[in-house]
Every structure is written in C-alpha cells, then in structure tokens.
Amino acid sequence: MKSRSSVPTSLEGLTACECLKLYQRRQLSPVEVVDDCLSRIDANNPMLNAFCLVDHQRARSAARASEGRWMKGEPAGVLDGVPVTIKDLTLTRDWPTRRGSLSSSAEGPWTDDAPVTARIREAGAVILGKTTTPEFGWKGVTDSPLYGITRNPWNPELTPGGSSGGAAVAAALNLGFLHQGSDGGGSIRIPASFTGTFGFKPTFGIVPQWPASAMTTLSHLGPMTRTAADAILMMNVIARKDARDGYAGPPYPGLEVNPAKTLKGLRIGYSRDLGYVKVAHDIERVTDIAVDQLRALEAEVVEVNPGFANPVKIFETFWFAGAARILSRMNKKQRQLLDPGFLEGAERGLTITLTEFQEAEAMRFELSALMAKFHEDYDFLVTPTMPIAPFPVGRNEPDDSFTGWVDWTPFTYPFNLTQQPAASLPSGLDDQGLPVGLQLVGARYSDTTVLAAAYAIESRLGHLSMARANIPQPSPER
C-alpha cells in the first residue's frame, strides 16, 4: 500500500468521488469503507430507521472481492467498492422487496434485479441494504405499517420527508455514499430538502424502470447523495438502457464529474411561489439569498411565474388511479392490513371515471406544452423545494389546515406531470436551524445541463459542508 498521509481520519465525510480516487491510489480499501458504513448504520439505525434491510455478510464479501480487484488494478466498473443503497420499492435479487406493506410477503423467490439495481451491481458497487419507504411510496413522509417511523437526523422528533425518506437519512449521515430514490410527486426532492442533501429527479424515461410503477408515467428513479458530483457519477451508471423498460427515452449522454463552476450565458426564471403557493417567510428569505448567488455565477435571473394554475386535481386523478390499481389486485385480508391513508386514496381512485381520467390527461398535455414554451425563454425555473420546514413525525400533514400530503408539497408534483428533470440542493438554514432546499427545474432531456448547473450552484453556496457539520448526532439513549 502507498502512503496514507492524505487519507481522511474520518470516513463519514467521504464522498463517492473522493473514495474512488483513494481506491485508485491504494490509500484506502473497500473493506475499510464498508466496515465503517456498517458500523455507523448499526449505531444510527435503531433510532432513525433509515434501513429496513442490512446485509452485513454479503456487503463484506463484496467489499473483499472489490479490494482484490483494486489491488490488481482491475476494477470491475466505475463504482467498484462504493457503498450504495436501494429503496424498498425497487427489486433486488435475493432480497425481499416489501414496499413497506404488511400486505406483501417476504417469501421469494427473489430472482430479479430491477434495471437500476443491475447497473449498480455491474459497476462493482457494494449494496449495503434497502432503505425505508411509506407503503407503496404513497405519501410525503416516511412511515409504514410494516417498518414504522423514519426520523430526521437534524431532529429525530421531525420527519425527513418521503417517500425516499430512508435514502435521504442515509445520505445525510453518509451511511453509504450513493442512494437510489424514486419520485412520483416529489419523493426524492421533498426528503432531500428536509435533510439538507442533494436529490435529482431525471426526465421520465432516462433511468429505466421495471416493473413499471403503479403510478406509471409520474414515477422517476434517480440519485440521492451529499454532492452534485456524486449524483453525476451515479447518473452515468443508472441511466443506461434496459430492454425491459417500454417507456425508455433517448440515450443519456453522460456528464463529466467536474463540470464548469459557472452559469454564464444561462437565463433563469425565479418564482418564489409559482403564483399561488404560501411560503414560510424564513424559507423565502433563504431562497432569495441563494438566488442572489446565481447572479454572482453570471446567470441572468428574472423574477417570473411560469403561468399555470395549481394542477393538484390533475395530479390527484393520476395518483389515486395508480393507488386503485394496486388495491384492485388485493384480497380482503390484504386490504385490511393497509395504511388507512393509502386505502382512502385508493378507494377514491376506484370512483374515477374513464372520462375524468382522459380529461386529466388532456390537461396534463396542456401543462407540459406550457412549460415547454416557458423553456424557450428560460434555461431553468428556480423555486424553493418546500414551502415549509420539517414537521413532527407520526402525522401525514403539518397541521389540520392541510388536506393531504399533496397540499404541502406544491413545488414538486407539477414537474412529475410534465416529466421534467428537477434537482433539490441545500440553500441554507431556516430560523429553526433546519435545512432549506432550492429546486432547479430544466426542460425535458436537459438533465446534464441541470446537473452541471447544480454543481456550479453547490460550489457557490457551500452549504453542504455546513450541513454536514451541523447535523446533531443522535443519542443512543433516546
């Protein structure tokens, strides 16, 4: 082994990109990194509940195999030895995919990897386990009848958001370096905002899916990480074609991990509220300050609203219909085991008529056309990711003034309807000392442009390092 003088004394702050450089120099072993991750998972998971499955034996075996390849100078792929997690909505060979539901069974055989899991394995990554999700990923917080409540590491009494809440907690505490999330209405971006991490929802069809989500063309798979550079690295792996995906988009061109740190020549439309959202004053203040930094990066920033009314009814038609599809496959005993909130939404979906669904499709088409027109004038739309701060666990809404999870996530779900790429990155802290997210939305198939811009913005804001330093460490006694 070469000199270890440049190896960080603590591995919990390491990124995937840094890790790979140290592997290449033989200054760090995948065995050391995976052991460190597993140790910290064991310490943190009993209280925070980020993982529903951790396979110590297989992870350590994979790490030893990776170490052998690196010692020979023959890595299996671009993620060889990097610790990764998979959300419990995504198929994994030899591990159950319970989708957070008591209505499911752990009995196999579990013989298939989803495309995203297969690409991650092929790249040599070490999959540590599976992260928690609400039942079928149905809501914007993370708790389920099967696995219980997932908590925010900034304050365990608060929610990390959802539905990729387990992945967000794992990213916030670096329990693994790359985390797969899914987003049908904000499920990557909501928890990224609430935990001070980076989340990216690609254009629909860029990252292949199989089996198709019950939410069909609302659902996107993407990376959840600590840095934009790590998300770029992960996207270069998971955005590869798979014949099983019937909705596949054009080939993903890939992106260098270190793009330029400038927004020169880009025109950005900034909307504080989309014209209809009530935003907390401290979140608006933090977002305004962050947007000023976009100007410092030489972007032209224009305050503008995109010009659409709240599309909540359109979204709920698709969402409830998808839930009804899941419900229609269940017997009476399974239905009795469901989260009451999911069951209520699914039963509403059963009442949707074909005419109502087709009308929602037509309105969705018009919304997509409006945003395509918007992006003829603006490279990006920037908004807060969330209008509110994280709220106490054990409830689906912050308070009784909200009628459902979609009611308090108004900045995210419109861009599932339009299928556009959207990133959430940390922009600062609110008056409670909790993280605030900045959402960056691009035109369809401008994924690499969004990621490159996020990388530049992140380098200017510098809040990721601050967020890492300020996450309170959970106490085992709680």
The reply to whether 40 falls in a domain is yes
Give the integer Cα–Cα distance in Å for 265 and 277: 29
163 is catalytic: yes
Is the separation of the CB atoms in 456 and 470 below 8 Å?
Answer: no
Q: Are strands 178-183 and 83-87 parallel, antiparallel or unpaired?
A: parallel
The pair of three-digit structure tokens given for residue 345, joined into one six-digit string? 């939404």
Average pLDDT over residues 314-341: 97
Q: Which of 29, 66, 87, 193 is catalytic?
A: 87
Report whether pLDDT(1) > 50.
Answer: no
Locus of tokens 């100078």: 73
Q: DSSP readout, 179-223?
A: EEEEESSSTTHHHHHHHT-EEEEPPTTSS--SSPPTTGGG-EEEE
Give the integer Cα–Cα distance in Å for 353 and 432: 45
187 is catalytic: yes
pLDDT at residue number 472: 54
What's the chain's average pLDDT? 94
Report whether pLDDT(215) > 70.
Answer: yes
Report whether pLDDT(435) > 90.
Answer: yes
The reply to whether 318 falls in a domain is yes
The reply to whether 8 falls in a domain is no
pLDDT at residue number 256: 93
Average pLDDT over residues 210-234: 95
The reply to whether 11 falls in a domain is no
At residue 476 the predicted structure's pLDDT band, cuts being 50, 70 and 90, is very low
Report whether pLDDT(475) > 70.
Answer: no
Q: Which of 66, 103, 144, 163 is catalytic?
A: 163
The reply to whether 5 falls in a domain is no
Report whether pLDDT(471) > 90.
Answer: no
Which domain range does residue 231 map to? 16-470
* CATH for 447: 3.90.1300.10
Count of domains for the chain? 1
pLDDT at residue number 273: 98
Q: Which of 29, 101, 164, 187 is catalytic?
A: 187
At residue 200 the predicted structure's pLDDT band, cuts being 50, 70 and 90, is very high
Report whether pLDDT(465) > 50.
Answer: no
pLDDT digits (tens, 9 = 90+) for 54-99: 999 999 999 999 999 999 999 999 999 999 999 999 999 999 999 9
The reply to whether 478 falls in a domain is no
Report whether pLDDT(463) > 90.
Answer: no
Between these two residues, 477 and 201, which has the higher pLDDT value? Answer: 201
66 is catalytic: no
The reply to whether 229 falls in a domain is yes
CA-closest candidate to residue 167, choices 145, 119, 134: 134
pLDDT at residue number 6: 52
pLDDT digits (tens, 9 = 90+) for 91-122: 999 999 999 999 999 998 999 999 999 999 99
At residue 270 the predicted structure's pLDDT band, cuts being 50, 70 and 90, is very high
- pTM recorded for the entire structure: 0.95
Contacts of residue 201, defined as CB under 8 A and 6 or more positions apart, other chains included, come to 183, 188, 189, 220, 222, 415, 416, 421, 422, 423
Taken in order 453, 455, 456, 458, the sign of the CA dihedral is: positive
The reply to whether 342 falls in a domain is yes
pLDDT digits (tens, 9 = 90+) for 333-354: 999 999 999 999 999 999 999 9
